[in-house]
Amino acid sequence: MMTFSDPAILFFLFGLLAGFFKSNLEIPQQISRFLSLYLLMALGLKGGFALEKTGLTTEVIISLACAVSLAIAVPLIAFQILKRLVPHFDAAALAATYGSVSAVTFITATQILDHQGIAFGGHMAAAMALMESPAIIMAIFFANQIRHRQTLALGQSSSIPVHTLSIKKLLHESFTDGAQLLLLGSLIIGMISGEAGQDMMRPFSVDLFKGLLAFFLLDMGLLAARNVPGLKHQSPWVFAFGIIAPLFHASLALLLASLCGLSLGNSILLMVLTSSASYIAVPAVVRYAIPEANPSLYVGMSLALTFPLNLLFGIPLYVYLAQLVIH
């Protein structure tokens, strides 16, 4: 399988092994932060250069509409299932986690598509940005509903502290978050600078990309291994959700992409985005907005279970399934 001969994926596996053996190998946090910002900037530039060539086509609009639709549908479905498996606040946090997206999974998928010569639209980077916030907003709504019911059940009006975050503030924080803003800004700069900018930035956004992605995935492997203890003593049904849900979400995306006539590459990336789970954006908001939820559960599930499965097995499977369905 091509995935296991990819140096970036092999570095991820190496990081997993080093973490499991409790090695003191560690990537300093500031370097890890720089690598994530670099990858988003390079991805945004690539997307902008591609969009400058294609323009705002019908497929661009349809792809973005599909992305937003799935970003709303997935947390709705996930919450209805999860509240039967875990406490309701944990269900809301996990719904946000699985309804949002993983930028690293998406970036890795774009590299695999490039390697296989499968074309995709630069606008899918914008789709990734649009899919990040809806699940978080909905999870906060679910959590506030749970608190309201608890208050009514106890016959109290204000004795239970309510952690709320206004939608306006949440949207502002989502679109002005440094990583998100860098992605969107790079996308726009790529569109403005066009082919001339692409030639100038090639050493930065193309030549360095694969090596720095491998370095970042090494760090992700170490982090994934170190988050495994957070999954101890969880119900087998929770583990089953972490494995089955991404496959189900990817199937929904494939069905929608097929019905809407999306291209093969865009369909695959829509599947990857829909099947991924956030381990950066969601924890940053949910720890404040839903403090009743268990961070070791939603971070552990996304980073130590779903992220490795998607990276090692999910992406190749999604490519294969999309090739069977999309013509």
What does the H/E/C string look like for 49-62? HHHHHHCCCHHHHH
For residue 218, the domain's CATH number is: 1.20.1530
Q: What is the pLDDT of residue 157?
A: 52
Residue 9 lies in a domain: no
Q: How confident is the model at residue 155 (pLDDT cuts 50, 70, 90)?
A: low
Alpha carbon distance 259, 162 (integer Å)? 42
Residue 10 lies in a domain: no
Alpha carbon distance 168, 240 (integer Å)? 35
Say which residue, 155 or 305, is predicted with more confidence: 305
Which of 38-47, 73-82, 227-236, 303-312 shows the lowest mean pLDDT across its residues?
227-236
The token pair at 197 is 């900018």
Surface-to-core class of residue 72, CB atoms within 10 Å of its CB (0-12 exposed, 13-18 middle, 19+ buried): middle
Give the residue-averaged pLDDT of 158-175: 53
Residue 22 lies in a domain: no
Q: What is the pLDDT of residue 160?
A: 43
Is the pLDDT at 165 greater than 60? The verdict is no
pLDDT digits (tens, 9 = 90+) for 180-205: 678 788 888 988 998 899 899 988 88
Residue 1 lies in a domain: no
Averaging pLDDT over each range in 29-33, 50-54, 222-226, 245-249, which range is the top one? Answer: 245-249
Domain coverage including residue 315: 27-325
The token pair at 88 is 């309701």
Residue 136 lies in a domain: yes
Average pLDDT, the chain: 86
Q: Say which residues have a Cβ less than 8 Å from residue 188's Cβ, sequence separation at least 6.
A: 48
Residue 148 lies in a domain: yes
The token pair at 79 is 């919450």
Is the pLDDT at 177 greater than 80? The verdict is no
pTM score, whole prediction: 0.84
Give the residue-averaged pLDDT of 261-288: 90
Is the pLDDT at 297 greater than 70? The verdict is yes
Q: What is the pLDDT of residue 40?
A: 84
| Number of domains into which the chain is organized | 1
pLDDT digits (tens, 9 = 90+) for 41-78: 888 898 888 888 877 788 889 999 999 999 999 999 99
Is the pLDDT at 255 greater than 70? The verdict is yes
Residue 7 lies in a domain: no
Which of 51-65, 96-110, 238-252, 307-321 shows the lowest mean pLDDT across its residues?
51-65
Is the pLDDT at 286 greater than 80? The verdict is yes
Surface-to-core class of residue 14, CB atoms within 10 Å of its CB (0-12 exposed, 13-18 middle, 19+ buried): middle
Q: What is the DSSP string of 129-193?
A: HHTSSHHHHHHHHHHHHHHHHHHHHTT-SSSS------HHHHHHHHHHSHHHHHHHHHHHHHHHH
Give the residue-averaged pLDDT of 215-234: 85
